[in-house]
Amino acid sequence: MNGSFDVTMLSPDQFNTVYNVLSFGFASMLATTVFLYISQARVLPKYRQAIAISATVTLIALYHYWRIFNSFEAAHATAGASFNEAYRYVDWLLTVPLLLLETIAVLNLPSGERKGLVSKLVPASAAMIILGYPGEIAVENGPKMMWGALSTLPFLYILYILFVQLTKSLESQPREVAATVSRLRLLLIATWGVYPISYLLPVIMGDSAGGAGAFVGRQIGYTVADVLAKCLFGLTIYKIARLKSAADDPAYAEAEGVH
């Protein structure tokens, strides 16, 4: 047994809840991807990279939500098919480093500092996700806690480095930009924290990995966190890029009405 949850154990209400949550995730990724691609041209060229990366993140997630949705339906309808939990981890393995890159890109740091940050944060994010996966599919709480604890080490390291860096960059940003970067910092901590909590639901709810309640809770938690961490975060990056474009260039501020 690989620990993947048997979705035929869901009640009709539980099935519909997960179905609708996955559909919401899919729609959010689709809409944000289209919006960001269209809007990319509306910031100064030096900030377009950050918007392009944000759109790539939601595009990758769009693909994975489609696969997760199909896997969920097939596991329910087809005897012998199982729900594939690995899509989320493959998604995070690609999107988390990109989210870190987009955050670093919009801050417009000197190139030495930027490279230093990338070389610390990208390997740490891969370690966090790879170490979490064996715990995700573990049936017993023991190994779930052990892998979860190991994955939390790089997680805390990433949050620490990002928090310090974002706080430091506040000093060199124009006032309106600083307020939004400060909100970005909160959004990051608040949404990234939802992932480990969702992961621990089988333990918190005393509902083992085979439990339907914890499965539904986990799907809701991961999906809502993904929409906040990818869509809302990407839109906030777009807002920062517009504010910085306006601060850099009065003609842009006038033409776009950003002040």
Give the binding site for ligand RET (CB under 6 A): 92, 95-96, 99, 128-129, 132, 148, 151-152, 155, 192, 195-196, 199, 226, 229-230
CB of 248 to ligand RET, least distance (A): 29
Residue 62 vs 129, nearer CB to ligand RET: 129
Residue 90 vs 258, nearer CB to ligand RET: 90
Determine how many CB atoms are found less than 10 A away from the CB of residue 181: 21
CB of 145 to ligand RET, least distance (A): 10
CB of 221 to ligand RET, least distance (A): 10
Q: What is the dihedral of CA 123, 124, 130, 135, to 10 degrees?
A: 170
Interatomic CA distance for residues 148 and 146, integer angstroms: 5
Mention every residue, 6+ apart, whose C-beta is less than 8 A from residue 56. Answer: 98
CB of 191 to ligand RET, least distance (A): 7
Interatomic CA distance for residues 151 and 60, integer angstroms: 23
Determine how many CB atoms are found less than 10 A away from the CB of residue 64: 22
Residue 85 vs 226, nearer CB to ligand RET: 226
Q: Is the dihedral of CA 118, 225, 175, 157 positive or negative?
A: negative
141-170 and 175-192 are packed helices; what angle lies between their axes, rounded to 10 degrees? Answer: 180
Residue 149 vs 255, nearer CB to ligand RET: 149
Residue 141 vs 152, nearer CB to ligand RET: 152
CB of 129 to ligand RET, least distance (A): 5
